[in-house]
Structure 1
Amino acid sequence: MLDRITGWLYERLGSRYWLVLAVGQALVSIFVALITVVILASYYDASTHDVVRLAAFGSILTAIAVLGGSLRTRAAFCAVRTWHGTPDPTPAETVKAWETASTLTYVQYRRNSWWINPFVVLPTSAFGVVLFDLGWADFFVLVLACVVPAVYATILSYSAGEMLSRPLVAAIAPQLADDFPFSRIGLPVRKRIMLGPSVYTIATALLVASLLGERSGSDDLVLTVAASVGIGLLLSQELSVLLAEAITVPIERVRAAMSRVEAGDLAARVPVTTSDELGELAHDFNLMVRGLEEREQMRAAFGTYVDKEVAALILSGQFPEEGVEIDVSIMFCDVRGFTSYAEAAPATEVVAVLNRLFTVIVPIVDRNGGHVDKFIGDGLLAVFGAPEVYPDHADRAVRAAREIVAATTALDTGLSVAVGVNTGRVVAGSIGGAGRLNFSVIGDAVNVAARVEAATRDTGDDVLITAATAAMLQSDIPLVSRGSIPLKGKSAPMEVLAPVPVAAPSAEQPV
């Protein structure tokens, strides 16, 4: 309810909302000041008129002090409002505005508390001495008695300031990036727990002792304050420590586990040691991490059957459903004589040899920036230039083809690999339906690559490329033309060229 009211006021008042902050904190402090005056007056034979005068004096000083402190932080409030008026703030500006809004009250009290309390307590105590016709030694008694309520008022008005500042923070928080640089610069939870109950207990003890105990001058007042502080601290410290341990320790455990997850340790778990909200937090955290672990396992399995770059692209959801037209280089490789070999060899041996060849071929494709589109029996179709766009995709494809031939020949399996490369425009996208999709490329350029590979049986070359690929080469790769040859499905012969063979690479080459 309070959040709705303050949110409505913030929307209506805009830059004038800082007055709500100032007045709200001042009213809380004035209320405590009035109670304090009544308590002090009860220890002396003061008339109602004198009590009213002292209460008015203390309230005016309190209002002046709190409003003066608010004026000192108005510049920070205006900085937040400036962010609201910026048409397109940068992420850094948004983070800065959020930090300013979320620490507005904390900075205000850290900057002003040291002078606000003396500004109110000292003159009020002096005026009380005059009104109640006391000796100046009693001045120090009144100051001592005002310390506890002053600290209590500070904590109470601080809490009010934080609640009233929520609309500022709530307006900025949705604009923050998920990975914005977060810094713990506000008042720590442990300090809140240690300070709050202690001061509240002491103030309560002082009020109860004043209502029920003897109230006959400064001696009783000093005794009441001393007893209230002693008993309050004795009762509250143990409670504060227990609360701090019960709340902050479980939170720190979750934070430590989150740091492990951020570092990649998805086995991190938080022990569920309580059956309250903090236990529920730990339980929900464990469920979340287990879900992340399962998702990562699925991603890893997905990447086993789909090229890693394609898997990342699909999971990102950024690739258009209708696909894109793009110029790429297509590499088709096939194992020569595999059909006759498969007829004579045991099935387990056939699979083992084929996997051995692909274990060599696939890393070469990856290393040169291509991705394996699909395995077709003993053949393989690879694409260079999609989904990752490379201007030198033709060079990468030809380089990979030459390395594949050299590497598979060095395996000494008794089988050889032939490769055909073609460059042209294709449509790249997710192909399929009924819940079964495959990222692939379609177009005449794909068919030509397969036909060029088949032509190696006629020319006797291990690698053949088309003139379109040769025209796209940016590096000086020695080529030998094999003339124009007819290709199945093409109405006119096409020129093919054979790169000069290279030796097997001794180590991985950078892309």
Structure 2
Amino acid sequence: MLDRITERLYERLGSRYWLVLAVGQAAVSILVALVTVVILASYYDASTHQVARLATFGSILTAIAIFVASLRTRSAFCAVRAWHDTPAPTATETVSAWETATTLTYRQFRRNSWWINPFVVLPTSAFGVVLFDLEWTDFFVLVLACVVPAVYATVLSYSAGEMLSRPMVSDIAKVLPDDFPFTRLGLPVRKRILLGPSTYTVATALLVASLLGDRSGSDDLVLAVVASVCVGLALSHELSVLLAEAITRPIERVRVAMARVADGDLAARVPVTTSDELGELAHDFNLMARGLEEREQMRAAFGTYVDKEVAALILSGQFPEEGVEVEVSIMFCDVIGFTSYAESAPATAVVATLNRLFSVMVPIVDKHGGHVDKFIGDGLLAVFGAPELFPDHADRAVAAAREIVAAAAALDTGLSVAAGVNTGRVVAGSIGGAGRLNFSVIGDAVNVAARVEAATRQTGDDVLITAATAAMLTTDVPLVSRGSVPLKGKAEPLEVLAPLGPVTAPTA
């Protein structure tokens, strides 16, 4: 309910919302000041008129001090509002505004607390001495008695300031970049836990001592303050330390584990040592880390069965579902005499030999910027120019074909490889249905590449390319025409050319 009210005030008041911050903090502090005056007056049998005058005096000083402190940090608030009024703030401006908004109260209190409390406590104590007709030594008693409420008011006012600043922070957090550089600038949680219970316990002890103990002058007041401070700190210190350890240590474990995950260690886990909200946080973190680990394993397996570039493109979700029409170079490789070899060799040896050949061929395709579209028995279809658009895709395809032939010949498998390359326009996209898709290329250029590879049996060459591929070459590759050969499924014969010159085969 309170958050909704502050959000509406923030939207309606705009740059004047800093007044809400000032009034909210002042109201909390004035309330504590009024209770403090009543407690002090009870020790000196003050009249209602005297109490009212001292309360008014202390409240005015408190309001002035907080208003001045708010004015000193108004420029920071205006910087946040300037971000809000900017039509399209940059990521850097957003991060800067967020840091300002989240540390606005903290910086205000660090900058002003050292003078606010003396500004209020010292004059109020002096006025109380005069008003109650006390000895000058009683001034120090009143100052001592005001210290505990002043610290308590500071803690409450700080909490009120942070609560009233939430609309600003929430407004910026909606568009804050996920990967912004985070730096700890606010009040640490450990200090909040140590200060909060201790201050509250001491203030409560002082109030109880004042209500139940004797109230007959400065001696009783000093005794009440000293007793409440000693008892309050003794009771709250261990509690604060235990709470700090119980809360901050599990949070720190989660933070360290998150840093490990950010560095790539997806096996990081947090021990679930409690059955409360912090234990639930650790449990949820472990589930998240396990999910990320399984996703990474799936991605790795996906990359094993699908070309790495294609896997990255599909996972990014940036490729159009309807596909795109592009000009590419298609390379089709086939193992010569593999059918007869498979008939005479054991099945395990056939698979092992084929995998050996592919283990040499696939890295060569990757090296030249292509991707393996599919394996067709003992054949391999590779595409150059999609999904990554290379203007020299023809050169890459021809170089890869020649290198694959040379690399396969260097293996002691007793088998050789032939390759055909063709260039043309195809449709590249995800092909399939019913939840099963495969990134592939469709078009007549693909069929021609397979037919050109088959033509190597007629010409006796290891590599043949079409005239369309030769026209796209940007490097000087010696070519010799093998004339026009009839291709299955083509009405007219097609000219094919064989690259010449030595090819350095990689070490097998």
Query: Do Structure 1 and Structure 2 share a fold, with TM-score over 0.5?
Result: yes
Deviation at 1:374, TM superposition (A): 0.3
Tell me which residue corresponds to 2:274: 274
Deviation at 1:91, TM superposition (A): 1.1
Distance 1:145 1:478 in 2: 100
Distance 2:398 2:136 in 1: 99
Which one is further off, 460-469 or 278-287?
Answer: 460-469
Distance 2:32 2:461 in 1: 96
Deviation at 1:256, TM superposition (A): 1.2
Residue type matched to 1:291 in 2? G
Tell me which residue corresponds to 1:67: 67
Tell me which residue corresponds to 1:502: 503
Deviation at 1:487, TM superposition (A): 2.5
- Cα distance per residue 1:468-502 (max 9 Å; x no partner): 22222233333333333332223333332222340
- Cα distance per residue 1:425-444 (max 9 Å; x no partner): 21111001111110001111
Tell me which residue corresponds to 1:149: 149
Residue type matched to 1:243 in 2? L
Tell me which residue corresponds to 1:37: 37
Counterparts in 2 of 1:474 and 1:114: CA distance versus 1, 3 Å: farther
Distance 1:422 1:412 in 2: 29
Distance 2:313 2:104 in 1: 42
Tell me which residue corresponds to 1:246: 246
Distance 2:474 2:187 in 1: 61
- Cα distance per residue 1:2-55 (max 9 Å; x no partner): 111111211222221111111111100110111111111111132221111111
Structure 1 spans left out of the alignment, 5+ residues? none
Tell me which residue corresponds to 2:56: 56
Residue type matched to 2:503 in 1? V
Distance 1:135 1:506 in 2: 102
Q: After superposition, where does 1:406-445 map in structure 2 within 5 Å?
A: 406-445=406-445
Deviation at 1:369, TM superposition (A): 1.4
1:126 partnered with 2:126 = yes
- Cα distance per residue 1:254-310 (max 9 Å; x no partner): 111111111222221111111111111111111111111221221122111111221
Distance 2:188 2:326 in 1: 55
Distance 1:391 1:237 in 2: 72
- Cα distance per residue 1:171-213 (max 9 Å; x no partner): 1112112222111111110000001000111111111111111
Q: TM-score, normalised by structure 2?
A: 0.97
Which one is further off, 452-461 or 347-356?
Answer: 452-461
- Does the CA-based 8 Å contact 2:152-2:199 persist in structure 1? yes
Q: What is the RMSD of the two structures over their aligned residues, measured on CA atoms?
A: 1.4
Distance 2:477 2:79 in 1: 61
Tell me which residue corresponds to 1:287: 287
- Does the CA-based 8 Å contact 2:50-2:132 persist in structure 1? yes
Residue type matched to 2:506 in 1? P
Residue type matched to 1:269 in 2? R
Tell me which residue corresponds to 2:83: 83
Deviation at 1:409, TM superposition (A): 0.6
Deviation at 1:412, TM superposition (A): 2.1
1:211 partnered with 2:208 = no
Which one is further off, 436-445 or 134-143?
Answer: 134-143
Distance 1:478 1:20 in 2: 82
Deviation at 1:506, TM superposition (A): 4.6
Which one is further off, 38-47 or 350-359?
Answer: 38-47
Deviation at 1:389, TM superposition (A): 2.0
Tell me which residue corresponds to 1:483: 483
1:171 partnered with 2:171 = yes
Distance 1:65 1:434 in 2: 71
Distance 2:152 2:196 in 1: 8
Tell me which residue corresponds to 2:387: 387
Tell me which residue corresponds to 1:332: 332
Which one is further off, 257-266 or 484-493?
Answer: 484-493
Which one is further off, 128-137 or 57-66?
Answer: 128-137
Q: Secondary structure at the match of 2:285?
A: helix
- Does the CA-based 8 Å contact 2:331-2:381 persist in structure 1? yes
Q: After superposition, where does 1:164-203 map in structure 2 within 5 Å?
A: 164-203=164-203
Distance 2:483 2:106 in 1: 81
Q: Secondary structure at the match of 2:165?
A: helix
Which one is further off, 189-198 or 337-346?
Answer: 337-346
- Count matched residues: 507
Which one is further off, 372-381 or 464-473?
Answer: 464-473
Distance 2:472 2:118 in 1: 81
Distance 1:470 1:115 in 2: 84
Residue type matched to 2:12 in 1? R
- Cα distance per residue 1:190-242 (max 9 Å; x no partner): 00000100011111111111111111222211111111111111111000000
Distance 1:459 1:409 in 2: 18
Q: Secondary structure at the match of 1:175?
A: coil
Tell me which residue corresponds to 1:374: 374
Tell me which residue corresponds to 1:12: 12
Residue type matched to 2:322 in 1? E
Q: Secondary structure at the match of 2:375?
A: strand
- Does the CA-based 8 Å contact 2:410-2:507 persist in structure 1? no
Which one is further off, 173-182 or 63-72?
Answer: 173-182
Distance 2:468 2:127 in 1: 98
Q: Secondary structure at the match of 2:174?
A: helix
Moved over 4 A (4+): none
Distance 1:169 1:477 in 2: 64
Distance 2:107 2:476 in 1: 66
Distance 1:468 1:78 in 2: 66
Structure 2 spans left out of the alignment, 5+ residues? none
